[in-house]
Structure 1
Amino acid sequence: MIVRQARIEDIPLLARIAARSQRAAFATILEPDALAGRDAAYFAERFTGSWKRMLVAAQQDEVLGFLLMTEGHIDMLFMDPDGSGQGGGAQLLEEAEARGAKSLECFRDNHGARRFYERRGWRVTRTYEREFAGRNRSFVFYEKGTAI
């Protein structure tokens, strides 16, 4: 498994991974209409301006996931559902930490992601609600090495 900088030609694949991963991870958190609006085209448009802040996990040239970070905050970490559990997410997180990642946000009810972050030393520093996909949602805010 390697972690590398994203390339502009990765955008279509990263967008498909984001859409698939979000559907799998958020199926019990978001309504079907909210998930439907976040398809590969939605993510491709979003990534067009942010691909330079993305890291990619790949194994033998097959992209398995990615991480997007802005000024020390992890905006998203998505693994392809078919490629999860192979260590790519952990390597992405480790590389982001080495590049200064200090915080991230997660749905309160995304238990799989929360276990993943907490096993790697991230701690909840606050809980809150905010609007996401047209409705108020419950979130947790993580920081590395601190706790409520």
Structure 2
Amino acid sequence: MIVREARLEDIPALSEVAARSYRAGFASILEPDVLATRDPAFFAERFSSSWERVLVSERQGEIAGFLLMTDGHIDMLFMDPDASGQGGGARLLEEAESRGARSLECFHDNEGARRFYERHGWRVTRAYERDFAGRRRSFVFYEKSKAS
């Protein structure tokens, strides 16, 4: 897998990967009505104003995953369910760290993501609840020092 910066023409493929990944990753955490709102159109709108901050993991010319980062904070890291476990997420995380990523937020109950981040040296610095999609949700905040 290679990692590269996103291009404007990647938005449709990014949106499809995001929607599939979101449904797969959060099926046991979020309600079906919330998952239904996170369709490709939802993500296309989000990426239309943020694609320049997206890194793409590509496998054989196809987008396999992506990472969106703002000011050193990882907003999203998603891998297509069919590409999970093949190293693309680790490559995205490594590249983001080299570009200054130092924090991220994760659902408390997203055990797979939490294992992934902790395996790569990220540490929980606080746990909290906040509103998300109309309901109170539990989250954890991760940080990684430059020395890690």
CA distance in 2, matches of 1:145, 1:73: 13
Corresponding pairs, count: 146
Percent of paired sites with the same residue: 75
- Cα deviation for residue 63 of structure 1 reads 1.0
Partner of 2:74: 74
- Cα deviation for residue 142 of structure 1 reads 0.1
* Secondary structure of 2:138 counterpart: strand
TM-score, normalised with respect to structure 2: 0.97
Q: What's the C-alpha RMSD, in Å, of the aligned pairs?
A: 1.0
* Secondary structure of 1:19 counterpart: helix
CA distance in 1, matches of 2:9, 2:50: 13
- 1:18 paired with 2:18, answer yes
Partner of 1:134: 134
Instruction: State the one-letter code of the partner of 1:62.
Output: E
Structure 1: give runs of 5+ residues left out of the alignment: none
- Cα deviation for residue 130 of structure 1 reads 0.5
CA distance in 2, matches of 1:31, 1:118: 26
- Cα deviation for residue 59 of structure 1 reads 1.6
Cα shift readout 1:76-107 (whole Å, capped 9, x = no counterpart): 00000011111000000000000000000000
Q: How does 1:1-148 map to 2 (within 5 A)?
A: 1-145=1-145
- Cα deviation for residue 145 of structure 1 reads 4.1
* Secondary structure of 2:86 counterpart: coil
Cα shift readout 1:12-53 (whole Å, capped 9, x = no counterpart): 111111111010010010000000011110000000000000
Cα shift readout 1:114-147 (whole Å, capped 9, x = no counterpart): 000000000000000011111010000000149x
TM-score, normalised with respect to structure 1: 0.97
Please list every run of at least 4 consecutive aligned residues from structure 1 whose deviation after the TM superposition is greater than 6 angstroms. none
Structure 2: give runs of 5+ residues left out of the alignment: none
CA distance in 2, matches of 1:23, 1:46: 17
CA distance in 2, matches of 1:141, 1:122: 10
